[in-house]
Amino acid sequence: MHTCVILTGAGISAESGLQTFRGQGGLWEGSRVEEVATPQAWAQDPARVLRFYNQRRDQVRAARPNAAHRALAEFQQIAEVRIITQNVDDLHERAGSTQVLHLHGEIRRARSTSNPAFTVDLGEKDIALGDLCPHGSQLRPDIVWFGEAVPAIHEAVHWCALADVFIVVGTSLAVYPAASLIDCFPPEIPAFCINPDAAPSNLGSEFTYIQATAVEGLPRLLNHLAQNFQERPHEHFDCF
Ligand code: NAD
């Protein structure tokens, strides 16, 4: 079975109604990133940070996976699908994808402020000031904020090395180290990038650029790949 590695960003969830990050004058849902998504913001005003993420969590719960999320889940019948996502939503999992690596954490989980290894699924709950882990420390969103380390990047680099096909969907490739993953797949394999806007400036010429939204472009590309895999199941392929 071929291994397809997909790097996704906020754009793949845009057609599910979740705003991307850099849409509106550098604001994320009306807030400046420094005021809601950094360790400094948490130190200065944790109530504001919790309010911001509680609202985002409500939006994610109300959103539904779109045709791009579903196409990736269905593609598991055809290939081994490994999704590396910058998204904190759970729309890949709710569509049925089973191998999803969250580089920047998961909004549905909370984490202890004293022990990063302690995380908990929030279910239908929010996080409030005074909600504590079993050792008595405040809970925070299980999100990697700007300026924090990205522990999952090592596993992501390993996944990239396993790829027979590499696809980038819905990311501006502006957030590092996530963006550096476009340099980590084997050089001889086919690589695709889907985005409705102009190609990100750091995207290499080895990528076939598909200017389309995720919902338009991804099911089409995956159909194309499926045909190719069926016609030449045991071969490496290098062009489309
Ligand atoms: P970004 O906002 O920087 O870039 C989004 C990209 O998606 C842009 O290049 C845009 O052209 C493209 N896009 C817009 N509509 C699209 C569509 N319909 N189909 C395909 N592409 C589309 O997002 P990023 O690169 O993922 O970085 C943002 C950071 O913010 C991430 O770290 C992420 O954790 C966080 N974030 C997550 C969510 C989410 O979980 N849904 C939402 C907003 C921000």
For 84-138, write each residue's pLDDT tens digit. 999 999 999 999 999 999 999 999 999 999 999 999 999 999 999 999 999 999 9
Rg (CA), the chain: 18
On whether the CB atoms of residues 91 and 69 are closer than 8 A, the answer is yes
Which is the closest atom of ligand 1 to the Cα of 15?
Answer: 18
13 alpha carbon to ligand 1 midpoint, in Å? 8
Ligand 1: residue whose CA is nearest its atom 15: 11
pTM over 0.85: yes
pLDDT at 240: 45
Q: Is the CB of 170 under 6 A from ligand 1?
A: yes
b/e burial code for range 203-229 (CB count within 10 A of at least 16 → b): beeebebbeebbbbbbbebbeebeebb
Ligand 1: residue whose CA is nearest its atom 32: 86
Angle of helix 214-231 relative to helix 67-74, nearest 10 degrees, comes to 20
Query: How is residue 76 written in tokens?
Result: 């598991």
Is the model's pLDDT at 56 over the cut of 50? yes
pLDDT at 238: 47
Of the two residues 68 and 33, the one the predictor is more confident about is: 68
On whether the CB atoms of residues 20 and 195 are closer than 8 A, the answer is no
Helix (H, G, I), strand (E, B) or coil at 125: coil
19 alpha carbon to ligand 1 midpoint, in Å? 8
As a whole number, mean pLDDT of residues 185-214 equals: 95
Which is the closest atom of ligand 1 to the Cα of 10?
Answer: 26
- Report residue 65's pLDDT band, with 50, 70 and 90 as the boundaries: very high
Catalytic-residue membership of 104:
yes
What own/partner pairs with CB < 8 Å and gap ≥ 24 does 133-138 have?
A: 137/112, 137/113, 138/46, 138/113
